[in-house]
Amino acid sequence: MGTQFIDALRCVDLEVASNEYLAIMGQSGSGKSTLMNIIGCLDRPTAGEYWLDGEPVSKMNDRQLARIRNKAIGFVFQTFNLLPRMTALANVEVPLIYSGMKRKARSERASAALETVGLGDRMLHRPSEMSGGQRQRVAIARALVSDPSILLADEPTGNLDSATGDEIMKLFDNLHEQGNTLIVVTHEQHIANHARRIVRLSDGNVVADTAT
């Protein structure tokens, strides 16, 4: 039996400006996860081009992609992805360790990122000692600590109750007002409504691109 190829994305022509707040929506199988993985440099497109900060990301090798992921993109996941035995401060420092920053400098940078998300008094707590909302704030601080070009959030409120989810989205609103570029992947309309622009996918195609 021959290999079967499926076009997860087809005619996607998308430009995201600096300091934009974009939501990507679509049903399961629409292509939004594939698009998120390409934007986040986790996958390469098999055709077409992807440029980030003037660099042709689609032509980079694995080492170059790892550098882009570490420095230019901050990831926020639905499941937080924190290291359970490390404090909030140590979790936020992780991307800076990979970039080779010295201990004192990375501690100062991580502390400032935790202050930004309102966790200045929880820096030495471990994830098990924190609420779901606080853990997501730690994850956001970790995403911000490298001063990335894009903050990329995948269903960032999916594991939170509605009140805590609202708090996280208000934090995203504040981060956008401070000049950060945000891309949120979600299937929930009330989450997407926080963005200034919504792109809808269906069967690998952009079917709507509207300002909110």
Q: Quick: pLDDT tens for 14-30.
A: 999 999 999 999 988 88
Helix (H) or strand (E) holding 133: helix 132-144
Is the model more confident about 45 or about 89? 89
3 assigned to some structural domain: no
SS3 19: coil
182 assigned to some structural domain: yes
161 assigned to some structural domain: yes
What is the mean pLDDT of the segment spanning 152-162? 93
- Exposed (0-12), middle (13-18) or buried (19+): which is 152, by Cβ within 10 Å? buried
Contact 136, 80 (CB under 8 A): yes
Residue 212, pLDDT score: 84
Half-sphere exposure of 196 (CA within 13 A, CB side): 13
The pTM is what? 0.90
What is the mean pLDDT of the segment spanning 157-161? 92
9 assigned to some structural domain: no
User: Domain holding 137: CATH number?
Assistant: 3.40.50.300
5 assigned to some structural domain: no
Does the pLDDT at position 179 exceed 80?
Answer: yes
Q: What is the identity of the amino acid at 128? A: S
Q: How many domains does the chain have?
A: 1
Residue 5, pLDDT score: 55
Does the pLDDT at position 115 exceed 80?
Answer: yes
What is the mean pLDDT of the segment spanning 160-173? 95
Nearest to 151 by CA among 120, 175, 125: 175
49 assigned to some structural domain: no
50 assigned to some structural domain: no
12 assigned to some structural domain: no
Q: Which residue has the tokens 């949120």?
A: 184
Query: What's the pLDDT band for 211 if we cut at 50, 70, 90?
Result: very high
Q: How far apart, in whole angstroms, are the C-alpha atoms of residue 151 and residue 95? A: 14
Segments forming the whole domain that contains residue 92: 21-43+60-211
The three-point CA angle 122-124-129 to 5° equals: 70
